[in-house]
Chain A
Amino acid sequence: MVNYFLRRILLMIPTFLGSTILVFTILQMAPGGPIEQMMLELQMGGNVVGEGGGGSSSNAIGGVSLPPKALKELERFYGFDKPIYQRYLSWLGVWPREIKHRDFSIPKGISSVEKRVGKVDGAIWKVDVSISNDNDLIVYEKSGEKSENWFSKIENSNEDGSLDAVVFQQEYSGILTGNLGKSYTYLKPVTEVMKPRFKISLFFGLTGIFLSYLICIPLGIKKALNHGSAFDFGSSVLIFMAYSIPGWALGGVLLVLFGGGSFFDVFPLGGFRSPSEIWDTLSPIQKVFDQIHHMILPIIAWSIGSFATLTVLMKNSLLENLSQDYVRTAFAKGLKENRVIWYHAMRNSLIPIASGIGHLLGVVIAGSYFIERMFNIDGFGRMAYEAILSRDYPVTLGFLVIVVLIRLLGNIISDFVLAIVDPRIRFK
């Protein structure tokens, strides 16, 4: 079995690569990338409306257009001057990323140029760039050795015979080295953008899962034991209703009912908790109440989705086990009803419920765009949604990496839990 799970974990790698390649390509091929957005912004005089897209209207009337040099620098900054496979590989961190570009030109007929590249230990750092026989540029330190830090290449040969060239450093940094890049909109490293939001969503998700399990399992059991009774029928109606309304739509109704617009003013309209000005003045107990007060509506909306499926799953699973032969045998040999149900049948019927936990993990992370948007909670899903709207590729891809990893791991965890709780299952 160890072999099986090792293989599963190894199989995660191609799947992960496949899915990231797919989204990476779609994102990079899409029109309306960060550069086009910036050009649009310039043309509109800085008043760009948040209407993503816009297409490539590079020569719009009347606006300021970007000078070619600035455009080149922007392309270099975002990495768009490289072919897409190189961009992907350097995003992964296995292809060198070029950083700290310094432009210079080499006049005609000169084979070696001195170039100031920055400072090291307080002194000015200069390197010599010379042209080799096969027209490559080689960078030498002042000591005469080939430079380990700096590289150079020819960008363009001019008509007068001079060459435009650039020196740069190379760096291997990407998701494999834990660097998810820097957000275009927040201007912060993606990990820093994601961390607080991830925590909020996780907090929500775990509370939601916990509460729905707490309600659904006993309810499902009771429905199974009283199959066909008035209680079973009544709760079934409730379950049908819960299944027919998406959680976020219910959230909207709850907001109208209890958010103070037209009916009752019981709960706040949104937000994860009170704004920090208020939050900081609260005593610890008030903080707990404030948090609960803000979370009740979104948690109801969040849990209603799993409420129906989980309860029915529990009920059917227990019912099926109760009709098995081993239960009849247990009764026949004179065991007490309680023992048969709670000790024999229950253990087997919890198996499908237990193994669902891993799948739920993935749902926790990605499944809350709607609720976070509706309740104005600054969570992980909303971050991704806004990142797509503003074409913030590093955040979009960072979100994707986390979600795909958690989903893949969740599937493995599910199978693992299944293998632990159900000794009949042997993975090979």
Chain B
Amino acid sequence: MKNTSIFSRRWQKFKTLKRGYYSLIILLSLYILSFFLPLLINNKALIVKYEGNYYFPIVTGFVSGQVFGQDVPGEARYRELKSSFKEDLNSSNWVLLPPYPYSPFEDITYDGNKMYESPSSLHWLGTDNTGRDVFARLCYAFNISISFALILTIINYIVGILIGGAMGYYGGKFDLFFQRLIEVWSSLPMLFVIIIISSILKPSFFLLIGIYTLVNWISMTYLIRAEFYREKAKPYVAAALSMGQSNFKIMFKHILANSLVPIITYFPFSVVAGISALVGLDYLGFGLAPPTPSWGQMLDVGLSNISKWWMVFSPVSAQFFTLLAIVFIGEGVREAFDPKVYSRLR
């Protein structure tokens, strides 16, 4: 028997929309891959074999340079180590570096002053004003941006479903109170409020999510409220009530399940908004604290060095392609869930 639940049919439909489907596959795999970035893009070696001993700097963290016979203060320099081992042909020492051996935090590198280097085979997207590798920062920022937007959207959804659901379901004074509150909130310019609050609080990752949720719960809440309000009047709710179902069960088991379509189709666009917001705030200097890699901060630095085009183009294109992929996914999801067929003219 073929499984024909509505969701699997929608999924089948989504799979036929190539643009969205491939965007989802690519983006999802890149995002999963980005959790392994420390193994892929890092200036710490993965494994060092030195004088018969094995070291795992990537796991153990700091290893002094003196351990490997390097005459340097502080941490070992694995890239130098690798080239020195290579010269020395008859030793059995070797280093396994990550495929892209630069760290996003590695300031002016010991290979000499590396500020403002244009893209090369060594630094794929050049270096920035403090000699950090742009490509490395770009990749780490990808993970942070998507995680930020996902967590933000999920928290927004939880708040929105709880408050909006209760507003739509219970109505009355509770609804009226929150409606007024929402009216007040939404009359304020949101970005302005976020800037005020974050200029006071100097936010961390989660505080920023909190601040953003504080001003951003409204649109979701309103969407859910309208959905619950409409569903509440339908006979199945009355039936469930007359069977003695609890309010909680009616709200979250019955109504929520029936109002999933707008909730799900809205999700990708909410993520787009989240990423844009983070980039914008970082650009203004009210986002994540430096030196956290972020596209907005990279763009800000790039724009004050406008002749270094790679410093502007890299973060903008990274953001652009990420958002484009999510928009494609969103478009696909919308089409799969809401097959509005427009008749052609005649």
Hey, which bits of chain A sit against chain B, CB under 8 A?
14-16, 18-19, 22-23, 26-27, 30-32, 52-53, 225, 227-228, 240-241, 243-246, 248-250, 252-253, 255-256, 259, 261-263, 269, 319-320, 322-323, 331, 341, 362, 366, 369-370, 373-374, 384-385, 388-389, 396, 399-400, 403-404, 407-408
Cβ–Cβ contact A15 & B184, under 8 A: yes
Closest to A324 in B: B343
Note all chain A residues with C-beta closer than 8 A to B192: 366, 384, 388, 399-400, 403
Query: In the assembled complex, how far is the CB of residue B185 from the closest CB belonging to chain A, in whole angstroms?
Result: 8
Cβ–Cβ contact B284 & A27, under 8 A: no
Query: In the assembled complex, how far is the CB of residue A409 from the closest CB belonging to chain B, in whole angstroms?
Result: 10
The answer to whether B155 has its CB under 8 Å from any CB of chain A is no
**Once bound together, how far apart are the Cα atoms of A365 and B272, in whole Å?**
23
Note all chain A residues with C-beta closer than 8 A to B185: 19
Cβ–Cβ contact A53 & B200, under 8 A: yes
Among B27-35, B229-237, B302-310, the stretch in contact with A: B302-310
**Once bound together, how far apart are the Cα atoms of A423 and B308, in whole Å?**
56
Cβ–Cβ contact B345 & A373, under 8 A: no
Cβ–Cβ contact B196 & A388, under 8 A: yes
Query: In the assembled complex, how far is the CB of residue B318 from the closest CB belonging to chain A, in whole angstroms?
Result: 10
Note all chain A residues with C-beta closer than 8 A to B187: 15-16, 19, 404, 407-408
SS class, residues of chain A in contact with chain B: helix
Cβ–Cβ contact B284 & A385, under 8 A: yes
Query: In the assembled complex, how far is the CB of residue B120 from the closest CB belonging to chain A, in whole angstroms?
Result: 16
Cβ–Cβ contact A374 & B189, under 8 A: no
The answer to whether B125 has its CB under 8 Å from any CB of chain A is no
Cβ–Cβ contact A241 & B324, under 8 A: yes
Partner of A22, one of B188, B312, B343: B188
| Contact A227 B344, CB 8 Å, known A15-B183, A369-B191 | yes
Query: In the assembled complex, how far is the CB of residue A48 from the closest CB belonging to chain B, in whole angstroms?
Result: 16
Instruction: Give me the 7 closest cross-chain CB pairs, A-B, nearest first.
Output: A18-B184, A261-B307, A244-B323, A261-B306, A366-B189, A244-B324, A323-B343
Query: In the assembled complex, how far is the CB of residue A234 from the closest CB belonging to chain B, in whole angstroms?
Result: 14
Note all chain A residues with C-beta closer than 8 A to B328: 240
Query: In the assembled complex, how far is the CB of residue A318 from the closest CB belonging to chain B, in whole angstroms?
Result: 10
Closest to A17 in B: B184
The answer to whether B202 has its CB under 8 Å from any CB of chain A is yes
**Once bound together, how far apart are the Cα atoms of A246 and B200, in whole Å?**
26
The answer to whether B37 has its CB under 8 Å from any CB of chain A is no
Note all chain B residues with C-beta closer than 8 A to A261: 306-309
* Number of residues of chain B lying within 8 A (CB) of chain A: 46
Query: In the assembled complex, how far is the CB of residue B340 from the closest CB belonging to chain A, in whole angstroms?
Result: 9
Could you list 22 examples of A-B contacts with CB < 8 Å?
A: A16-B187, A19-B184, A19-B185, A240-B327, A243-B323, A244-B326, A245-B316, A249-B299, A249-B316, A253-B313, A253-B316, A256-B312, A256-B313, A261-B306, A261-B307, A322-B345, A323-B343, A341-B345, A396-B196, A403-B189, A404-B188, A408-B187
**Once bound together, how far apart are the Cα atoms of A263 and B189, in whole Å?**
37
Cβ–Cβ contact B188 & A23, under 8 A: yes
Query: In the assembled complex, how far is the CB of residue A330 from the closest CB belonging to chain B, in whole angstroms?
Result: 11
Interface residues of B in 266-306 (CB under 8 A from A): 272, 276, 279-280, 283-284, 299, 302-303, 306
Query: In the assembled complex, how far is the CB of residue B303 from the closest CB belonging to chain A, in whole angstroms?
Result: 5
Cβ–Cβ contact A370 & B283, under 8 A: yes
Closest to B342 in A: A319
Note all chain B residues with C-beta closer than 8 A to A248: 280, 283
**Once bound together, how far apart are the Cα atoms of A366 and B191, in whole Å?**
9
Query: In the assembled complex, how far is the CB of residue B274 from the closest CB belonging to chain A, in whole angstroms?
Result: 13
Partner of A253, one of B312, B342, B345: B312
Cβ–Cβ contact B184 & A22, under 8 A: yes
Cβ–Cβ contact B309 & A32, under 8 A: no
Query: In the assembled complex, how far is the CB of residue B30 from the closest CB belonging to chain A, in whole angstroms?
Result: 16
| Contact A331 B307, CB 8 Å, known A14-B180, A23-B193, A252-B316 | no
**Once bound together, how far apart are the Cα atoms of A388 and B193, in whole Å?**
10
| Contact A31 B316, CB 8 Å, known A366-B192, A373-B284, A400-B188 | no
The answer to whether B199 has its CB under 8 Å from any CB of chain A is yes
Partner of A262, one of B195, B307, B342, B345: B307
Additional A-B contacts beyond A26-B200, A252-B312, A370-B280 (11; CB < 8 A): A30-B196, A52-B199, A228-B344, A245-B320, A245-B323, A253-B312, A253-B313, A255-B306, A255-B312, A256-B312, A322-B342
Note all chain B residues with C-beta closer than 8 A to A31: 200
The answer to whether B173 has its CB under 8 Å from any CB of chain A is no
